[in-house]
Structure formats: structure tokens, C-alpha cells
Amino acid sequence: MSQLVAVKNLHVTFATKGGEVRAVRGVDLTVERGEFVAIVGESGSGKSVTVRTLVGLPGPGARVKATRLELAGQDVRGHRPRDWRRIRGRLAGLVLQDALVSLDPLRTVGAEIAEVLATHDIVNRWERAGRTIHLLDQVHVPEPERRSRQYPHQLSGGLRQRALIASAIAGEPALLIADEPTTALDVTVQAQILSLLAERRAAGQSLLLVSHDLAVVGQIADRILVMRDGQVVEQGPADRLLRAPNHPYTRQLLDAVPSASSRGRRLSTPARRGPGRTVVVRVQATLPARQPVRAGDPVLSVAGLTKRYGEHTVVRNVSFTIARGETLGLVGESGSGKSTLARIVAGLLPPDAGDVTFERTPWSAAVERRRRPLRRRLQVISQDPMSSFDPRYTVGQLIAENLDPGLTRAARVDDVTALLRRVGLEPHLRDRHPRSLSGGQRQRVAIARAVAPRPTLIVCDEPVSALDVSVQAQVLDLLADLRAADGTALLFISHDLGVVHHLADRVLVMKDGEIVEDGPVGDVFTYPRHDYTRSLLDALPDLVTDGRP
Amino acid sequence: MTVTLAGVPAESTTALDGESLHPVVRRRRPRPGPLVAGGFLLLLLVAVVRPSLLAPGDPLAADPLTVLAPPGAAHWLGTDHLGRDVWTRVVHGAGHSLTIGVAATAMAVTAGVLLGLLAGLAHRIADEGLSRSFDALSAFPMLLLALLLIAVVGPGTTSLIVAIGIATLPHHARVVRAQTLLVRRAGYVEQAVTFGLSPTRLVARHVLPNVLGPIPVLAVIGLGEAVLAASGLSFLGMGPQPPSPEWGAMLSEGRNYLQVGWWITIPPGVAITLTVVALTVLGRHWQARFDGRQSR
């Protein structure tokens, strides 16, 4: 009876046009009262489906089978929608990734929470308003009275996530299920939400957290389950699992996390997948030697750059240079002006003040016609490759468009093949449409297209933020390989300090449109001078890495 | 023992996190609506191209001996007040009615695309001017505007086509303008700027094709509207003149005999309705498919 969740041999299959898809294949899962359990896995591992099944929401067209499926000792197999409604909110509260989607845009957050109170008859009508404010206060929403009268769009991402947690705990559920609750948030906000979850646990709440980020769950969970292809490949106490992983896949996931200690080595592990099980050859290969950074020879210099939108100054007096072959990291939270700066550097947005010089020629001040011949030497890779692809083009056409226009048709085909090979894609993908590719493959296509004209500088705007950690590892390795081979300089923009620490030579820290700190990446991240840099680093969930080979 | 969880509700919309390779259950059964509509339009096409296949008689041949004969074996849909076979006239009338609709739509779409593109690509002042004139044009009810134009140039097939063309033009122009603005700001157009493409190439390679994509679908939906407008105007005597078997004109001719011979008016009326419904159903179906393809 002390087991809150007891699942044995859970199978969830989806009937699709292409046949049955087995999303969850024989998962065993238990959560004790007061325990904090985390499920870690990559996209499509079945982790979300597993926890959603616990609240009776496995998804449309799902068939669920289990030898045992109990919530608080109650067998929920064969439950009807009405029965599930009694469980949701009361026995198990669910917090989803994107609070903007999960909260009703036409209702105040107070009304949202009050509804849970009303549905499960937690307090009487007169006490609801007071309880709502109390709940918001419990999740540390400042000025809870005012906030409870506001609509989701008036709140920041962090506050929305807090409000969502408040509504999930309003029904005083024994179990709080959080499905990627911090994925859409900045590191500092993520740290706050994680400490909030830890606080709930300290108060005796059982938690089931789903995440793709080992570092996030490693900090706060008691026990971790690693899922892959619908199965649990390894589980154990968080400490043990992170320090001494048994399963090669767990090890591969841990190795894939970029950080200070991963500099100079490959993140991705070449994996051979046999039928049924995976054989991972574990070689911690080092990255190829790079061409020297020519410090005295700037590819790009930026001086006194300022951009305003109305009253709001997005970029304020920013100056920096990138040397030939250098990788400059640019970190900052959302809204800090990183992307605006990237667009100005790429010559897509005119600055209000200041100058950009590229290859020792005026860039931001020049008219487009003068810029055009130089454009091919400065390429851009964006976070969402799909939106940068013309929806009518095939992979081959996309890459070919950025090749030298003077090439013959045959040379073009050869070049596209060579480029696809270079970024680790099969040449036959040439005729495919990006729609039918995975996220990692799409980003490879974008990279192939960017390196096609042999640029001297590539502006990478959050190129790996949308990818799973092992796919991210492969893409980062690819960028490192290309950088070593071509001596290309990179302006690498990311909110992920680990990624920047892994890849960059120097780093700029941006806050509210200003560069608050800059210097060699090791110095800045080891001895941060500015408070903001320090708070970013403190917020970073740290993987327990010692003890691992 | 394995027990199936029967009562799991299908409420959740995002079942699986992650990538497009993963299955999302999507019911896609062929629906009968578009099929029936398509079948009817095929039949209509035959009536336009080879009306004699469906009705071998002469639509203009009057037979004073069988005036106002009710539907029967000799005359499927009866005869009108001049003894002309109504079935034959409805079949042959398809050519008249549809030609006007198609020509008017073609005109409206062509002019609408050109003006809409111009507005979408031009600088703010030119765009403002063009857009306000689209607004002014569409502020008039379509039929009123067409009536006004015909009052100036006089009735007849050509003026009917021009009138409907002009009246439906602003709709197409607005859609194209909005689409152009959207595509102009799309990520892939911005990306193409970084390839060093000239503005002309940019428009030709990326803007135009993506703007024009949804146009055929809109044209089909607009065609239904144009056919309806054409029938309405010729009912008022603004289009092809009697004895031409245009559907609207037939309605008009038959309306004086409604009490003695309903069969003169009902068939052309039904023909108009079915045509408009079929075009709209098919157009919407394509639109839905197009949107689906875009969003994936």
C-alpha cells in the first residue's frame, strides 16, 4: 500500500497507417510514497506516453495493456473516462512542458486554479479565492493576488510554469507528474523551477519527472529510469546511475553532454546497432587538430552596435571581433538580444548605430548590392532548419542553391553528393524532402548548405537547441570537424553554457542587449567577474561526473 | 494475465513527443463529398465540350405542337413555353454559364495576382494606394458593382465577363498580397538573402512559387461564386440574350410560367445550385489538403 504507482509490463501501441507502433514495450515502474522518480530518454523513447498513461491520457488511438497498473493501490485497468477524471488532479497532477499551451488563454490563472479546487471540491466556494492565492504563494509567485487576476500571456515563461504547477497541486494529489517542465525555460528560471520541485518533494510529495536532460534530473531525483525505444534499459539510484552507469546507452547519453570537461573530445559515440540490442563501441576519440587561430587577422569586427525597436533598446553599444578560424561563443538568456545581434552581423537587419566590418570591408554600412558578392563567405545556420528551407525544395535543391552559380549541372550533382557525405548523410537523401527527415538530419542539411560556398564565417544561432542530447552531440562533433578542416570562424550563439564551453575559444556574455563579460572561455567560466555570469553558472545543473572513466 | 485497458479516452492531442518520423494517428478515409462533386463536374465538362453526347437535340428548336409538355418519356424534363426541350437546353446551357464563369475568374485571378504581387512587393506608399483601392472596390456589393459596369457598357456576354471579373478581382488581389507579405518575411527568403541572390532571383525562385501555390485552389472556389453571379446577372437580363440557353436567362424566361410549368424553371435552378455546390466542395477539399501539406 506504500507504493503509489505500481506498473508491471506496460505496453502501449498506436495503430497507424503504417501499421502498429509499439511506443511502450513492457515497462515496469514503481513510485513509493514521497519518492522522486525521473524517467530520462530521448524523443520517441516512450517516456511521455508512459507517464501519460498513468493519468489515462496515452493519446488518440492508443491501446494499453498491462499485467499490473495500480495507482494508490487501486487497479485502474478498465477505467472509464469518468473514473479517470476522478484520478486526474486529485490522485495525480500533471504539469506539461509548455505552460502557454497548457493554460487556457481566455481565463485568468486564478480561475484556472480555482477550477481544480471546484472540480474536486477541495474547499468551499468562499475559500477558493484565498486558497488560490495561497497556492500561488506556495510556488513562489510574487504578488500572488495581482498575478491570480492576470492571463497567461501576461506572465513570463517561468511564472506560467509556476502557475501550472500551482494548478497541478491544487487538488492535493499524492503524485505530481511533470513532463519536461523546464525544457522551454532559461537556465536561471529552470534552476528556480527545479528547486521548487525539490521543495515539493521535501514537503512529502511524490514526484515523477520526465526529462531528456540527465543533468536536470541528476540533481534532484532519488531514482532514475533510462528509457529507450519503449523499454527501460537501466534504472537505479540517481547517484549510482550517474557515477557508474551499467548500460552502454546510459554511458553514451552521459558522454554526449557537452561541458568544460568535454573540450577537445568527441561527444558522440559511434554505435553499431544489432538486431534487438545495441552494441556501443566506446572510444573517447579526440577531435581533429584545428588550424591555428590567427589572432591579428579579424574576419569580422563589430564596433558600437546599437539597435532599438521603438523605446526598447535591444542591442546596446556592442563591440567585438572574431579572428580568422576562431570560434566565438555568445551566451545569454532569451530576450537578451542575441538573435538580433546575429541578424545584424548576418547583414539582414540594419543597425541604428555602430559598424560591422566583414573581411576588412564595410558590411553593415554598405548597400546590399556591394554586400552581395561577399555574402557567400558569411553563412547562417538557424535553430529551426525547417523554416529556413523553401517548402518546395528537395534536399539536393536546397544544397545546390548555395553552390557556385557558374557550375555545370554534373559538377553540381557531384558537389551535392560530396557535401551530403561530408555531413554524414547518405547521398540518396538528395531527392528526399526535408519534411521526411529527422531533426538531426535536417540540421545536417542546413550545415551542408552553409559550408557549400566555403565561407570564412558561419553565424550559428542556437543550432542544436532543438535537438536531443545524442543528436546534439553528433551535430556538435560535425561542426568541430568542419571547423578543423576548413578553418572556418564561427559565431556560436547558445543559451546552453555547456555547449559553448565545449566548442568556443572565447565567449561573450550578453544581458539586456549589453555585453557584460567577455574573454577566453576557460577564464570566463572558471573565474566569472560579472554577477550575471556567476548566476548563469550557478544555475547550471551539474552532472556528477567524477568516478566515471 | 494481460488485460486490455478499455476505457482509455482519446482526448490527448499530443501523444508522442518528438519528431515527424513518429506516428500521429490521423484518420484519412476517402470522403464521398469530393468524389460526388468531382463526378458531377466531369459530367458538366462533357456537357460543355460535347453537349450532343448527353442531349443530341437542338436547344433552340421550338416545337409549337408540344408547348409546356410536362416531364415524360419523350421529353425527360418537359418542354418550355415555345416547345423547346428543357433537358437539351440545360445541357447546352452549361457551356454558356460555365464559359462566363471561367473567363471571369481567369480574368479576376490574373489581374488579382498581378496587382496583389505588386502591392505585396512594392514600397509602403504604393501598397497603401493599391490596398485602399481593393478596399474601395470590395466595399460595393459584387452584384451592384457588376450592374453598374453593365449599365455603362451595355448587356452581353463580354460585358458580363468583364463586370464579374472586376467585381471579384479585389478578393484575389488581397489574398495574393497577404500571401506575398507572408512569404517575403519567411525564414527561407531571409536565408536566401545570405546566399547572395539578387532581388529578381529571390522573387522568381522563392517568393513567386510560394505565393502562387494556393491560387489554383482559390480559383476553383471563386469559380463557383462567379457562376452564381453570372446566372444572377443574366436572370436580370444583363447577360446573354434570349433565345440563348444560359441558365440564368432560362430561369428568367420560365418565371412567368411557374404556375403552369414548374419544370421550365426548376432544372436550370438545380443545375446552378449543383454546379456551385460541387465547385465549392471540391475547392474546399483541395484547400484542406493543401493546408495540411503546408503545415506538415
- Domains contained in chain A, CATH given: 257-377+456-549 (3.40.50.300), 389-454 (no CATH)
Closest B-chain CA to A76: B5
For B124-136, what is the mean pLDDT?
91
CB contact under 8 A, B7 and A376: no
Which residues on A lie below 8 Å from B294 (Cβ)?
391
For B251-272, what is the mean pLDDT?
90
Q: How far is the CA of A314 from the CAs of A308, A341, A461, A512, A515, in angstroms?
A: 6, 9, 17, 7, 12
Q: pLDDT at position A270, please?
A: 63
Which residues on B lie below 8 Å from A469 (Cβ)?
none
Q: Is the pLDDT of residue B84 over 80?
A: yes
Which residues on A lie below 8 Å from B8 (Cβ)?
53, 56, 58, 62, 64, 79, 84
Q: Which residues, including other chains, have CB under 8 Å from residue B155's CB and lie 6 or more apart?
A: B237, B238, B239, B241
Cell of A319: 563591440
The Cα of B221 is separated from the nearest Cα of chain A by a number of Å equal to: 24
Residue A211 and residue A48 in contact, taking contact as beta carbons nearer than 8 Å: no
Chain A interface mutation, best of B1, B4, B5, highest count of A Cβ atoms under 10 Å: B5
CB contact under 8 A, A387 and B188: yes
Write down the ipTM of this complex. 0.76
User: What whole-number percentage of chain A has pLDDT above 70?
Assistant: 95
B23 contact A CB<8A: yes
Determine which helix (DSSP H) or strand (DSSP E) holds A25, and give its type and residue range.
strand A19-32
Q: pLDDT at position B293, please?
A: 60
Closest B-chain CA to A441: B19
Cell of B230: 453570372
Q: pLDDT at position B12, please?
A: 34
The Cα of A380 is separated from the nearest Cα of chain B by a number of Å equal to: 7
CA atoms within 13 A on the CB side of A358: 25
* Residue of B273, A500, A38, B75 lying closest to A490 (CA atoms): A500
Q: pLDDT at position B24, please?
A: 39
Strand ranges for A281-369 from DSSP E: 294-309, 312-324, 327-331, 353-358, 361-362
Q: Is the pLDDT of residue B238 over 60?
A: yes
Cell of A344: 545584424
Cα–Cα distance, B223 to B286 (Å, whole number): 14
Q: pLDDT at position B294, please?
A: 55
Q: pLDDT at position B28, please?
A: 56
Cα–Cα distance, B79 to B69 (Å, whole number): 5
Cα–Cα distance, A115 to B202 (Å, whole number): 52
Chain B interface mutation, best of A390, A442, A460, highest count of B Cβ atoms under 10 Å: A390
Better-scored residue on pLDDT, A280 or A506: A506
Which residues on B lie below 8 Å from A84 (Cβ)?
7-9
CB contact under 8 A, B2 and A65: yes
b/e map A176-206, b = 16+ CB within 10 Å:
bbbbbbbbbbbbebbbbbbebbeebbeeebb
Q: Is the pLDDT of residue A276 over 50?
A: no
B30 contact A CB<8A: no
CB contact under 8 A, A392 and B209: yes
B186 contact A CB<8A: yes
CB contact under 8 A, B22 and A438: no
Go through chain A and tell me how many residues it has: 549
The pTM for the full model equals 0.80
Q: pLDDT at position B29, please?
A: 62
Cell of A215: 543533468
Q: What is the crossing angle of helices B142-153 and B215-235, to 10°? A: 60
Q: Is the pLDDT of residue A272 over 60?
A: no
Where do we find the cell 528526399? A432
Distance of CA A502 to the CA centre of its chain: 16
Closest A-chain CA to B15: A59
Q: Residue A341 — pLDDT band, cuts 50, 70, 90?
A: very high
Q: Is the pLDDT of residue A282 over 70?
A: no
B296 contact A CB<8A: yes
List, for residues A125-171, the tens digit of each pLDDT value.
Answer: 888 999 999 999 988 888 999 999 999 888 888 888 888 999 888 98
B294 contact A CB<8A: yes
CA atoms within 13 A on the CB side of A143: 5
Cα–Cα distance, B293 to B296 (Å, whole number): 6
Q: How far is the CA of A99 from the CAs of A184, B127, B150, in angstroms?
A: 9, 39, 58
Q: pLDDT at position A295, please?
A: 80
User: What whole-number percentage of chain B has pLDDT above 90?
Assistant: 43
For A357-380, what is the mean pLDDT?
93
Q: pLDDT at position A274, please?
A: 42
Q: Is the pLDDT of residue B6 over 60?
A: no
User: Burial, A478: exposed, middle or buried (Cβ in 10 Å; 0-12, 13-18, 19+)?
Assistant: buried
Phi, psi of A34 (to 5 degrees): 80, 10
Which residues on A lie below 8 Å from B26 (Cβ)?
17
Phi, psi of A328 (to 5 degrees): -105, 120
B17 contact A CB<8A: yes
Q: Is the pLDDT of residue A516 over 80?
A: yes
Q: Which residues, including other chains, have CB under 8 Å from residue B289's CB and lie 6 or more apart?
A: none
List, for residues A102-135, the tens digit of each pLDDT value.
Answer: 888 889 999 989 988 988 888 888 889 999 999 9
Q: pLDDT at position A261, please?
A: 79
Residue A329 and residue A521 in contact, taking contact as beta carbons nearer than 8 Å: yes
Which residues on B lie below 8 Å from A443 (Cβ)?
none
Q: Which amino acid is at A407?
A: L
Q: Is the pLDDT of residue B181 over 90?
A: yes
Question: What sections of chain B are H helices per DSSP?
Answer: 32-49, 51-54, 86-121, 124-139, 142-153, 157-184, 187-193, 199-202, 208-212, 215-235, 247-254, 266-295
Q: Is the pLDDT of residue A406 over 80?
A: yes
Q: What is the DSSP letter of A251?
A: H
Long-range contacts of A24-29 (CB under 8 A, 24+ apart): A24/A49, A24/A50, A24/A53, A24/A230, A25/A229, A25/A230, A25/A231, A26/A230, A26/A231, A27/A227, A27/A230, A27/A231, A27/A232, A28/A232, A29/A5, A29/A225, A29/A232
Cα–Cα distance, B233 to B235 (Å, whole number): 5
Which residues on B lie below 8 Å from A65 (Cβ)?
2-5
For A439-445, what is the mean pLDDT?
92
Cell of A547: 568516478
* Residue of A41, A62, A9 lying closest to B23 (CA atoms): A62
CB contact under 8 A, B9 and A66: no
Cα–Cα distance, B292 to B296 (Å, whole number): 6
Cα–Cα distance, A434 to A425 (Å, whole number): 12
DSSP string across B42-97:
HHHHHHHH-HHHH--S-TT---GGGTTPPS-SSSTT-B-TT--BHHHHHHHHHHHH
List, for residues A166-218, the tens digit of each pLDDT value.
Answer: 988 898 899 999 998 888 788 888 888 888 899 888 888 999 999 988 888 88
CB contact under 8 A, A387 and B187: yes
Where do we find the cell 580568422? A324
Better-scored residue on pLDDT, A294 or A197: A197
CB contact under 8 A, B8 and A61: no
* Residue of B97, B138, B113, B98 lying closest to B218 (CA atoms): B113
Cell of A169: 497541486
A439 contact B CB<8A: yes
Which residues on A lie below 8 Å from B179 (Cβ)?
none
List, for residues B18-65, the tens digit of each pLDDT value.
Answer: 333 333 344 456 678 889 999 999 999 999 999 888 888 888 888 888
Residue A451 and residue A458 in contact, taking contact as beta carbons nearer than 8 Å: yes
What is the three-class DSSP state of A56? coil
Q: Is the pLDDT of residue B129 over 50?
A: yes
Lowest mean pLDDT among A78-87, A312-321, A503-512: A78-87
The Cα of A547 is separated from the nearest Cα of chain B by a number of Å equal to: 32
For A424-444, what is the mean pLDDT?
91
Computed from CA positions of residues A253, A256, A257, A259, in that sequence, does the dihedral angle turn out positive or negative? positive
